Amino acid sequence: MAERLPEAKGAGKVSFWRTVRVVAWAFVGLRKRSGHQQDMAQVKPVHVIVVGVLGALFLVLSLIWLVNTVLAA
C-alpha cells in the first residue's frame, strides 16, 4: 500500500488567481526569493502545472493570432 506524503503547511488554501499570479511571475522571471518560497509552500504543484500549461497555450495562440492579423493587413 502506498504511503501518502505529508502536504505542505497551508497547501490547498490558495485561490485560483494567486496560482495564476505565481505562474505569471514565473513566465516573467522576476521574483523575490522570499516571495517565491512563500508561494511554493502554499500552492499545489498540480495546480501550478495546469495553470502553466494553459498560460503557455494562451501565449502561443495569442502570438499566432497576432502574426496572422499583421500579415493579413
**10 contact partners, CB below 8 Å, separation of at least 6:** 41, 42
Burial letters 7-24, b for 16+ CB under 10 A, else e: eeeeeeebeeeebbebbe
Position 2 confidence tier, pLDDT thresholds 50, 70, 90: low
Query: 26-51: per-residue pLDDT in tens?
Result: 888 887 778 878 887 888 889 889 99
Identify which has the larger pLDDT, 58 or 32. 58
Q: Name the residue ranges covered by the structural domains of the chain.
A: 16-72
